[in-house]
């Protein structure tokens, strides 16, 4: 009962009153705009709620006679259970059970499928890869080891406290605190049910940070969608329109972040037709914890304690589902893979766990994410062992089979290893903060994971098999021919008269234009630490390069800097250069607001297509290599990473719809004094504007190409700028000496867009004076490693001294006049009133 006499179940619903439309139109409206059939039912007229079917919990398990199966039979079984295991893996499993003289239970097979899923174990990134680079053969043993971990090892920064081992990467903040950062993707769930997908994406990454015993203090979200104006008639079957996906995802991010009270402070949105069926939702979370308080080893006899929400059929097989290519049926088949989050319950988890940490009440902690208890308990017990009784797990409703309980991805749950004597204290905390706690077993020293349901043993596997038994994947990669930068493509063929129109088009391009209408939906002020906010300037509508946070409660004025780099346009051309470019962009953005370039750590998130295709894997290998080379060159270590592969969709047209290779680099930097942080808005008429960095504008992958259209691109995307680390170090010194007034980095749209954005931010005019042979290239070409820097005239000499021997060029003067004026060789190319810039930038087209 629900506490009311005679009321056993309650349901809520939406009622839409529609007038002036006939029945067919109404049904069409409902299907296409109002209802997501994956999670909702609808009718025209009266509706009755459907409640989860109740049936007695049987505890029944299924045994698969696997020992006798042929290879075909193994594959059929994998497919039937949607296990996403390949033949070599199925064979290893068969061999294990033959040796054990028995057949696996459904719980065991599901557990292995989850533990060995791409999502959980990163098979592709750990695979042995035979690479063919234009005829030259080589072999890579694990992309992670070869390119990502190795970069961190080579750089060997003493302030990196945990890289690639915990749920989140951790660096030192000061003598007292450490900062953690994790970025996850929640792409497949967001494609099917955008609100729930994004909602639980945020919830999940927040738990990653709770899982390193930290208090979450900031969230980030980077989103990639199909074009918002996509013609609905070209929409592949079973795919939601990008507009619905965007509004649902944004609402999901907003709902979770705002309600749990974590500021959403950094993000980006990119549009491309490749994301129509496979939107990307990157959710990040930053945590703060007292140094060295995170514990990782369950003690023998410690209780296995589940905290938080109850368990239902939510999100079954999410781990394996996210490792598969989608098709028109995915929505129906995997609908149960999507969950709706409950931020209020997760807030309770934070309240309990932060206190439990300070009281030293637990020995190890893990979050329930993909794979549920199976993954959480399995990982914690991987170095010791555990004995769990599923009958103890608190359920939302009866009728769950043991494997469903074990694998359920019900949200807002954490698992703790707690010594028996600490149970009463933990229980009291839980009662105070309305958080449920359940004791489901104990940790052992057996080297085995044993799960029972009541009296019946339903899973009995050795840690060795479960965690080391997976055969290494053998994959092939082919590296495609790379373009080179070979000079001018378009500039000489273009008339110079429509430059202002080009700039306005760029400013209103969906990837560049203002995201204010979305940013204002997110609470970016809660927790009182947001120093450089997502929007800045006189009217708070200029786009900040990065966010600066001063966490409440820490001593001194030290702060955290968050930024990101992403550029799928470059990924379409050259993934090595893309990787280098986005590493540079993330660092550049952080440096622009004042981060110490020597104290930046980065995270990688690869979203790719199907790695079983050698050409696709080739682009992944190149990107990983680019990550390594750039990280080592900048001395910027990776501390965490994640990949989401198989972002492909087989349309009913029989064609493959793949995303462009997409690499997100998220940067976590430190700044010694947040009062020294810099914003991008122009500050004062009469000040000077410098272009700092090795300026090598190119049109490959540029947004100039996107808005001009129809041009043949025969040049590459921006390449590595070797001198960038020195430029950033010099610029940082200038910032620390208080010599700069504003800084903005050059990115999509080049110098012209960067200058226009600074004008918008400061509502001050600018006269740009170029001495270029090719003014179009100079204005709109894209480059790495460059920033525009505003300096007061009285500081000009000192500033130039700081940047001595590095590329620096005085390019503009700030004006009182409300216009952006661009001249080349003393000839005015164009002059655009600020109002027109603002108008273009505020209205996407």
Partner 1 sequence: MKPIALVLQARGTNRELDVMEAIALAGAEPEGVPLNNLRAGKNHFIDYQMLILPGGFSYADALGAGKLLALDLNSYFSDEISAFVDSGKPVIGICNGFQALVKSGILPGNEAFASPARAKQSYKGTMSPAKQDDSGRGEIALLAKERLARNDMATLTFNAQGHFECRWVTLQPISEICVWTRGLDERIECPIAHGEGNFRVADDFIANRLGLQDQIALSYVHADGSPANGEYPANPNGSMLDIAGICNPAGNVLGLMPHPENHIYPYQHPHRTRGIHFGSGLPVFVNGVRYASLL
Closest CB to partner 1 among residues 21, 557: 557
Closest CB to partner 1 among residues 72, 428: 428
The three-state secondary structure class of 538 is coil
Closest CB to partner 1 among residues 227, 261: 261
Q: Facing residues of 642 across strands?
A: 605
Least distance to partner 1 from the beta carbon of 434, Å?
5
CA quadruple 194, 198, 203, 204: dihedral sign:
positive
Closest CB to partner 1 among residues 185, 530: 530
For 156-216, the DSSP string reads --TTEEE-SSSSSEEEE-SSSEEEEEEEEE-HHHHHHSHHHHHHHHHHHHHHHHHTTT-EE
Closest CB to partner 1 among residues 454, 528: 528
Closest CB to partner 1 among residues 286, 658: 286
Least distance to partner 1 from the beta carbon of 816, Å?
16
Least distance to partner 1 from the beta carbon of 822, Å?
25
Contact 653, 603 (CB under 8 A): no
Closest CA to 559 of 589, 587, 529: 529
CA 829/CA 821 separation, integer angstroms = 8
Torsion of CA 255, 257, 258, 260, to 10 degrees: 100
For 616-632, the DSSP string reads HHHHHHHHHHHHHHHHH
CA 38/CA 326 separation, integer angstroms = 15
Least distance to partner 1 from the beta carbon of 85, Å?
39
Closest CA to 413 of 204, 568, 218, 567: 204
Closest CB to partner 1 among residues 285, 578: 285
Residue 139 phi, psi dihedral angles, 5° rounding: -135, 140
Least distance to partner 1 from the beta carbon of 232, Å?
25
The three-state secondary structure class of 383 is helix
The three-state secondary structure class of 736 is helix
User: Other C-beta atoms within 10 Å of 95: how many?
Assistant: 13
Least distance to partner 1 from the beta carbon of 551, Å?
10
Closest CB to partner 1 among residues 253, 667: 253
User: Other C-beta atoms within 10 Å of 758: how many?
Assistant: 28
Closest CA to 263 of 522, 519, 521, 516: 522
Side by side, the strands of the sheet bearing 559-566 are 530-532, 547-549, 559-566, 662-671, 600-607, 638-644
Least distance to partner 1 from the beta carbon of 528, Å?
4
Contact 138, 131 (CB under 8 A): yes
Q: Which pair of structure tokens corresponds to residue 507?
A: 């400013």
The three-state secondary structure class of 469 is coil
Torsion of CA 28, 31, 32, 33, to 10 degrees: 110
CA 223/CA 185 separation, integer angstroms = 10
Closest CB to partner 1 among residues 463, 795: 795
Which residue's structure tokens are 């929640």?
A: 186
Closest CB to partner 1 among residues 432, 498: 432
Residue 296 phi, psi dihedral angles, 5° rounding: -130, -5
Q: Which pair of structure tokens corresponds to residue 417?
A: 């290893």
Least distance to partner 1 from the beta carbon of 625, Å?
39
CA 471/CA 91 separation, integer angstroms = 10
Q: Facing residues of 812 across strands?
A: 689, 768
Closest CB to partner 1 among residues 276, 679: 679
Q: Which pair of structure tokens corresponds to residue 383?
A: 């170095």
CA quadruple 435, 441, 444, 446: dihedral sign:
negative
Least distance to partner 1 from the beta carbon of 33, Å?
17
Beta strands 600-607; 638-644: pairing state: parallel
Contact 550, 529 (CB under 8 A): yes
Q: Facing residues of 449 across strands?
A: 386, 461
Torsion of CA 706, 711, 716, 717, to 10 degrees: -10
Closest CB to partner 1 among residues 351, 610: 351
Catalytic residue selected from 101, 122, 186, 363: 186
Least distance to partner 1 from the beta carbon of 534, Å?
10
Least distance to partner 1 from the beta carbon of 121, Å?
35
Which parts of 272-325 are beta strand (E)?
A: 280-290, 303-308
User: Other C-beta atoms within 10 Å of 836: how many?
Assistant: 16
Closest CB to partner 1 among residues 377, 676: 676
Task: Catalog residues that contact partner 1 under the rule CB under 8 A.
Answer: 254, 258-261, 342-344, 347-348, 431-434, 520-528, 530-531, 533, 536, 538, 540, 550, 552-553, 557, 674-675, 677-679, 681, 683, 742
186 is catalytic: yes
Least distance to partner 1 from the beta carbon of 794, Å?
15
CA quadruple 380, 147, 592, 706: dihedral sign:
negative
119 is catalytic: yes
Least distance to partner 1 from the beta carbon of 531, Å?
5
Which residues participate in catalysis according to the annotation? 119, 186
């Amino acid at each position: 009962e629900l506490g009311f006499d005679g009321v056993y179940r309650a349901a809520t619903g939406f009622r839409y009153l529609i007038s002036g439309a006939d029945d067919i139109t109404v049904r069409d409206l409902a299907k296409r705009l109002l209802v997501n059939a994956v999670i909702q039912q609808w009718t025209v007229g009266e509706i009755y709620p459907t409640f989860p079917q109740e049936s007695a919990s049987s505890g029944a398990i299924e045994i698969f006679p696997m020992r006798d199966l042929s290879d075909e039979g193994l594959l059929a079984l994998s497919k039937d259970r949607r296990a996403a295991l390949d033949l070599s893996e199925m064979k290893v499993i068969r061999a294990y059970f033959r040796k054990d003289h028995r057949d696996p239970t459904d719980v065991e097979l599901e557990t292995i499928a989850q533990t060995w899923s791409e999502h959980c174990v990163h098979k592709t990134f750990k695979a042995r890869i035979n690479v063919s680079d234009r005829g030259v053969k080589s072999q890579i043993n694990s992309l992670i080891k070869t390119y990502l971990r190795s970069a961190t090892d080579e750089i060997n920064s003493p302030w990196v406290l945990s890289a690639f081992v915990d749920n989140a990467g951790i660096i030192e903040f000061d003598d007292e605190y450490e900062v953690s950062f994790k970025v996850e993707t929640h792409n497949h769930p967001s494609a099917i049910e955008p609100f729930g997908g994004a909602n639980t994406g945020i919830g999940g990454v927040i738990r990653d940070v709770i899982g390193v015993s930290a208090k979450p203090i900031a969230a980030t979200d980077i989103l990639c969608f199909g074009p918002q104006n996509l013609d609905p008639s070209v929409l592949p079957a079973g795919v939601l329109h990008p507009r619905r996906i965007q509004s649902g995802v944004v609402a999901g991010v907003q709902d979770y972040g705002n309600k749990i009270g974590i500021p959403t402070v950094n993000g980006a949105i990119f549009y491309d037709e490749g994301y129509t069926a496979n939107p990307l939702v990157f959710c990040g979370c930053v945590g703060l914890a007292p140094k060295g308080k995170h514990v990782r080893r369950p003690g023998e006899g410690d209780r296995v304690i589940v905290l938080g929400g109850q368990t239902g059929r939510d999100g079954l097989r999410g781990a394996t589902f996210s490792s598969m290519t989608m098709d028109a049926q995915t929505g129906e088949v995997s609908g149960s893979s999507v969950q709706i989050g409950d931020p209020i319950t997760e807030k309770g988890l934070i309240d309990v766990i932060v206190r439990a940490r300070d009281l030293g009440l637990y020995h190890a902690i893990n979050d329930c994410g993909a794979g549920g208890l199976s993954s959480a308990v399995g990982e914690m017990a991987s170095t010791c062992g555990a004995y769990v009784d599923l009958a103890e797990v608190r359920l939302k409703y009866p009728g769950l089979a043991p494997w469903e309980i074990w694998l359920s991805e019900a949200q807002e749950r954490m698992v703790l290893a707690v010594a028996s004597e600490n149970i009463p204290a933990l229980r009291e905390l839980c009662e105070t903060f309305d958080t449920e706690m359940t004791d489901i077993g104990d940790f052992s020293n057996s080297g085995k994971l044993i799960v029972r349901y009541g009296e019946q043993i339903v899973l009995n596997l050795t840690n060795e098999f479960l965690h080391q038994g997976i055969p290494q994947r053998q994959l092939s990669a082919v590296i495609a021919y790379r373009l080179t930068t070979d000079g001018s493509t378009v500039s000489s063929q273009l008339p110079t008269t429509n430059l202002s129109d080009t700039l306005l088009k760029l400013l209103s391009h969906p990837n560049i234009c203002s995201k204010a209408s979305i940013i204002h939906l997110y609470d970016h002020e809660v927790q009182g630490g947001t120093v450089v906010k997502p929007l800045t300037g006189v009217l708070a509508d200029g786009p900040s390069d990065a966010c600066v946070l001063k966490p409440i409660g820490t001593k001194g004025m030290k702060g955290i800097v968050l930024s990101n780099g992403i550029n799928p346009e470059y990924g379409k051309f050259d993934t090595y250069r893309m990787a280098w470019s986005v590493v540079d962009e993330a660092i550049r953005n952080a440096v622009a607001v004042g981060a110490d370039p020597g104290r930046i750590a980065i995270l990688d998130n690869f979203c790719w297509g199907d790695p079983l295709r050698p050409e696709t894997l080739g682009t992944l290998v190149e990107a990983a290599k680019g990550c390594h080379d750039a990280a080592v060159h900048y001395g910027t270590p990776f501390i965490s990473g994640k990949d989401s592969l198989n972002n492909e969709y087989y349309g009913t047209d029989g064609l493959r719809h793949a995303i462009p290779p997409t690499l997100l680099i998220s940067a976590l930097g430190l700044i010694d004094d947040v009062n020294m942080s810099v914003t991008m808005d122009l500050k004062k008429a009469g000040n000077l504007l410098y272009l700092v960095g090795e300026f090598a504008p190119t049109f490959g992958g540029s947004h100039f190409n996107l808005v001009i259209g129809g041009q043949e691109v025969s040049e590459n995307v921006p390449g590595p700028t070797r001198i960038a680390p020195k430029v950033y170090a010099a610029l940082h010194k200038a910032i620390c000496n208080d010599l700069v007034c504003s800084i903005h980095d050059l990115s999509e749209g080049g110098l012209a867009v960067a200058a226009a954005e600074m004008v918008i931010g400061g509502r001050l005019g600018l006269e740009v004076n170029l001495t270029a042979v090719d003014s179009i290239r100079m204005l709109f070409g894209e480059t790495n490693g460059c920033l525009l820097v505003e300096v007061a005239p009285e500081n000009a000499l000192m500033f130039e001294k700081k940047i001595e021997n590095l590329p620096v060029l005085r390019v503009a003067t700030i004006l009182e006049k409300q216009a952006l004026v661009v001249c080349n060789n003393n000839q005015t190319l164009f002059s655009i009133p600020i109002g027109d810039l603002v108008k273009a930038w505020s209205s996407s087209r």
